[in-house]
Structure 1
Amino acid sequence: MPNQDYVLTMARYNRWQNENLLAATDGLSPDERRKDRGAFFGSIERTFSHILWADMMWLHRFSGTPRPKGSLSDSVALIGDWDEFRQLRGRLDGQILQWAHDVSSDWFEGNLRWTSGMAHREFSMPRKTVVMQLFNHQTHHRGQIHAMLTAAGAQPGATDLPFMPEIYASA
């Protein structure tokens, strides 16, 4: 079950993979980033935007950072300027990693309560489960981005945990 070692590994992996996919995306034109490719959120850019929004929402729930603006339906429209998005994504990855370094072992005990705007009701779930949701959700949608990038002719790097470079594995 999740503990601090788990969240540190996954926060490091998150940063590595975001940088990996963003670097591959940088080679595409804005039109190519925004092209509807038939994925759940349509485009590479909209999918990146949704991941950013969801990560901000979960970090808000975990640690009280600012809540992202808008609702799930707005989550795909956070990217205006690509360079600004890349900076925001990098800062958020740093915040997630810092949270992982700082989280106490007792944080994982008990439930997390939150009200879902999407479901219009309150939830209470084990913290060990919802922290897995944060990282599973990222990985799921990054897989979609990887497939869209590959179809667009880009070549993202490795994605398997055993190949995580030491610079990330010890961050």
Structure 2
Amino acid sequence: MIDPAFCQLMARYNTWQNSGLRDVVDKMSDAELRKDRGAFFGSVMATLNHLLWGDMIWMSRFDMGEAPPGGITESVHLTPTKAVWAAERFRMDGRITEWARHLKAIDLAGDLNWTNTNGEAKTDRMWVCVTHFFNHQTHHRGQVHAMLTAAGQTLPATDIPALLDRH
């Protein structure tokens, strides 16, 4: 079982990592960001869009807020430009942080009833869904990190202890 402190740490980690990615992405050309690099979603931009879409869909299940349009297939086209992506990413990171900040232990207990992208009704333990949410972020950011490294970019540290050393 996870607790609110874990969620708050992971929300902070998510924001920190996405801030570093925004800085790197901002310096790259659109062609570099859209180049197929052999990853599951192909390009850096497609993967960043999918990751943002995934955060949006899971947060809509957790906070009953707005869900993104489309499904997984359309997720790679969520934002049209790196500037729009950066703005939406910033907003989503704030939404995640605020949600985590207000979490209570009871919020992580019990079940979450949700609908998957195939329209199937699902019920899972809330803490399992939240753990998946944070794991999904880390998984796809790892893919982005690998693609950016292969493209010759230098990225900031990714270790959680490095985040904790900052404050």
Question: Could you tell me the TM-score, scaled by structure 1's length?
Answer: 0.94
* Cα drift, residue 115 of structure 1: 1.3
| 1:49-73: CA deviation from partner (whole Å, max 9, x where unpaired) | 0000010000000011101111111
Flag the structure with more relative contact order, 1 or 2, with Cα contacts below 8 A and sequence separation at least 6: 1
Structure 1: gaps (5+ residues): none
- 1:157 aligned residue: 156
- Cα distance in 2, alignment partners of residues 84 and 165 from structure 1: 29
CA contact (8 A) 1:150 1:156 kept: yes
Alignment of 1:18-33 (within 5 A): 18-33=18-33
- Cα distance in 2, alignment partners of residues 166 and 95 from structure 1: 24
Alignment of 1:44-55 (within 5 A): 44-55=44-55
SS of the aligned residue for 1:80 comes to coil
Structure 2: gaps (5+ residues): none
RMSD over aligned Cα atoms = 1.2
- Cα distance in 2, alignment partners of residues 29 and 68 from structure 1: 26
Q: Which runs of 4+ in 1 moved over 2 A?
A: none
Query: Matched residue pairs, number?
Result: 167
Question: Could you tell me the TM-score, scaled by structure 2's length?
Answer: 0.96
SS of the aligned residue for 2:112 comes to strand
Alignment of 1:34-45 (within 5 A): 34-45=34-45
CA contact (8 A) 1:46 1:76 kept: yes
SS of the aligned residue for 1:154 comes to coil
Q: Percent identity?
A: 43
- Cα distance in 1, alignment partners of residues 159 and 165 from structure 2: 13
- Cα distance in 2, alignment partners of residues 160 and 117 from structure 1: 31
Alignment of 1:82-121 (within 5 A): 82-118=82-118, 120-121=119-120
| 1:91-145: CA deviation from partner (whole Å, max 9, x where unpaired) | 1100100000011221111110111123x31111101100001100000000000
